[in-house]
């Protein structure tokens, strides 16, 4: 399909598209995406190059700090983000999940105040998922979404209040090879944003809501500025009054933690808040300081809790920053998936979730994330206790919080050890997740936790870092390529016995998943994002 419209370039779409997909991939919508790509694509490339330059500097110095050139923004007391729209004032529980139709219906009906409709880490970029996700979102906005399971069970939206939709497009680092503009793959961020905004912005506004987004993987305020310019252009292009877009930024990279205020400032006409994206944050720290020596080696990922000093500094700074500027602070994910067979597992896990949400509410967060509908009442309860008759905690300014660069980088004070059990768990989770991901599933229940790409990123990056630092395990052994390779081989055999191969199921991706895991864990060079080489393994027609 070729499209030319104004400054739009030549657009080509590959991959199969059914009738519903053609309602999304219209010439007008693709022309809009092409305009975004032509106008903003070059700046995106420049900012991605800047990421590499900054990371190289950190590798030389072993240091990050608050930017001196933006000190005036942090020091200016007067500026605030725009007031939130009505359906974003109360965000005490947000449920996250992919745009699978069944899971979308359950999320919208869950009783949560918002649904993070995830086109990123809980999704995979199989072309079917990309297109179907947009169809599901369009139907959800218009309250016509339904799903009938193979066994005939029907899932339909309730008649009352549904969760407010907040869409998470893919990050700036990803491209969409099925949509090319002048022969080059378009930014996946602009494809996801552009299609959703074009088809739904006016509809949402007419229904008393608006086009709301979660912005992932930002590493600087300049990347936030790019999103602000995209929003401004999109609103102008579609005749929408400025500032109707609302964006919540995930502070899930270590450089972004040093630019929270600047990110809010760049998005001040659009910003709705910041989120403590804890899992990707851990991955980012490992990635950034992977070669900075043993002081930057973290213990087993399951041992790194939100009470670790560097994580406390990060979350408390986020709350203070948000409330200082009139933005909402949203807490991290409770990923537990309740078991229908093991009440004891549920009891222990629910107590941990309860403690986590109670801590977030006590610290001043305005809301938090859950991955399963059964956790919505528990999270609601914890915030109800703290908020009382209020809908948020914006008035809690947390002026008692004072966080330094050293506090954010104090990984050495993290309690816990690197253990053989943790190593094997990293191998098991990464292999199982990659197997499912290559098969087309991005949100996977593994060992009673709902895992997405961030989990696999932490697991494989820890393994790489432990190998390259020859980290000592609790057994006395040092982590070597041979030790990790043996663990991968053993987990591969265990998983193959569980799922089998050759039936068109998830097991058919197992060999490719093993090869990919070995490449990114045992290789000399660190791969910045696991999903980039994984994308290359997906059949281009799927």
508 with 502: CB under 8 angstroms?
A: yes
Residue that the structure tokens 């009054």 belong to = 241
CA 471 to chain centre: 29
CA torsion, ordered 91, 364, 74, 246, to nearest 10 deg: 0
Sheet holding 184-187, edge to edge: 11-13, 175-181, 184-187
Q: Which residue matches tokens 């059949």?
A: 539
Q: What tokens were used for 71? A: 């000190």
| Signed CA dihedral, 162, 202, 172, 269: sign only | negative
CA dist 298 to 424, 427, 517, Å? 16, 16, 20
Long-range Cβ contacts of 502-509 (<8 Å, 24+ apart): 505/439, 506/435, 506/436, 506/439, 506/441, 507/435, 508/439, 509/434, 509/435, 509/436, 509/437, 509/438, 509/439
Is residue 471 within 8 A of residue 294, CB to CB? The reply is yes
Residues in the chain, total: 542
Q: Is 92 in a helix, a strand, or coil?
A: coil
Active-site entry in 168, 170, 268, 290: 168
39 is catalytic: no
Q: Which residues contact 493 (CB under 8 A, 6 or more apart)?
A: none
Active site residue 528: no
170, 325, 452, 460: the catalytic one is: 452
> CB of 104 within 8 A of CB of 115?
yes
Contact (CB, 8 A) for 197 and 270: no
Chain centroid to CA 420: how far? 28
How many Å apart are CA 234 and CA 227, to the nearest integer? 10
Report d(CA 360, CA 54) in Å as an integer: 32
Q: What is the set of active-site residues?
A: 168, 452
């Amino acid at each position: 399909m070729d499209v030319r419209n104004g400054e739009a370039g030549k657009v080509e779409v590959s991959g199969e598209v059914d009738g519903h997909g053609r309602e999304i991939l219209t010439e007008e919508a693709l022309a809009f995406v092409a305009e975004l790509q032509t106008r903003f694509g070059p700046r995106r490339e420049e900012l991605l190059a800047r990421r590499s330059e900054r990371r190289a500097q950190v590798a030389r110095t072993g240091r990050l700090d608050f930017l001196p050139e933006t000190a005036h923004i942090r020091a200016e007391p007067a500026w605030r983000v725009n007031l939130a729209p009505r359906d974003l004032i109360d965000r005490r529980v947000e449920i996250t999940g992919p745009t699978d139709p069944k899971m979308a219906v359950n999320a919208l009906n869950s009783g949560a105040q918002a649904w993070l409709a995830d086109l990123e880490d809980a999704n995979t970029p199989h072309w079917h998922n990309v297109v179907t996700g947009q169809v599901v979102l369009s139907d959800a906005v218009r309250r016509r979404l339904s799903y009938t399971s193979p066994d005939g069970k029907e899932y339909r939206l309730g008649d009352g209040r549904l969760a407010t939709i907040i869409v998470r497009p893919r990050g700036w680092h990803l491209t969409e090879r099925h949509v090319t503009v002048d022969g080059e793959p378009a930014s996946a961020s602009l494809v996801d944003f552009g299609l959703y905004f074009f088809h739904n912005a006016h509809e949402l506004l007419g229904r008393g809501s608006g086009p709301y987004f979660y912005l992932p993987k930002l590493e600087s305020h300049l990347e936030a500025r790019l999103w602000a310019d995209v929003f401004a252009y999109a609103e102008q292009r579609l005749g929408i009054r400025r500032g109707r877009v609302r964006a919540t930024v995930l502070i899930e990279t270590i450089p972004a933690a040093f630019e929270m205020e600047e990110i809010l400032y760049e998005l001040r006409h659009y910003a709705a808040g910041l989120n403590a994206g804890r899992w990707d944050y851990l991955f980012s720290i490992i990635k950034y300081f992977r070669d900075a020596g043993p002081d930057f080696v973290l213990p087993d990922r399951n041992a790194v809790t939100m009470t670790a000093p560097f994580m406390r500094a990060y979350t408390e700074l986020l709350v203070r920053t948000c409330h200082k500027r009139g933005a909402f602070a949203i807490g991290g994910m409770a990923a537990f998936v309740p078991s229908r067979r093991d009440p004891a597992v549920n009891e222990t896990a629910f107590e941990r979730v309860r403690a986590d949400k109670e801590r977030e509410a006590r610290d001043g967060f305005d809301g938090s994330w859950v991955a399963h509908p059964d956790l919505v009442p528990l999270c609601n309860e914890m915030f109800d206790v703290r908020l009382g008759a209020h809908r948020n905690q914006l008035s809690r300014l947390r002026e008692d919080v004072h966080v330094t660069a050293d506090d954010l980088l104090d990984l050495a004070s993290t309690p816990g050890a690197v253990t053989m059990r943790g190593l094997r768990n990293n191998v098991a989770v990464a292999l199982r997740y990659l197997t499912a991901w290559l098969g087309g599933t991005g949100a996977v229940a593994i060992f009673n936790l709902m895992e997405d790409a961030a989990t696999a990123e932490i697991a494989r990056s820890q393994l790489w870092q432990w190998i390259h630092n020859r980290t000592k395990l609790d057994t006395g052994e040092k982590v070597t390529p041979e030790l990790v390779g043996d663990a991968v081989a053993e987990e591969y055999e265990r998983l193959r016995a569980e799922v089998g191969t050759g039936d068109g199921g998830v097991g058919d991706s197992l060999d490719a998943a093993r090869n990919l895991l070995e490449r990114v864990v045992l290789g000399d060079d660190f791969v910045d994002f696991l999903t980039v080489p994984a994308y290359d393994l997906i059949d281009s027609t799927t």
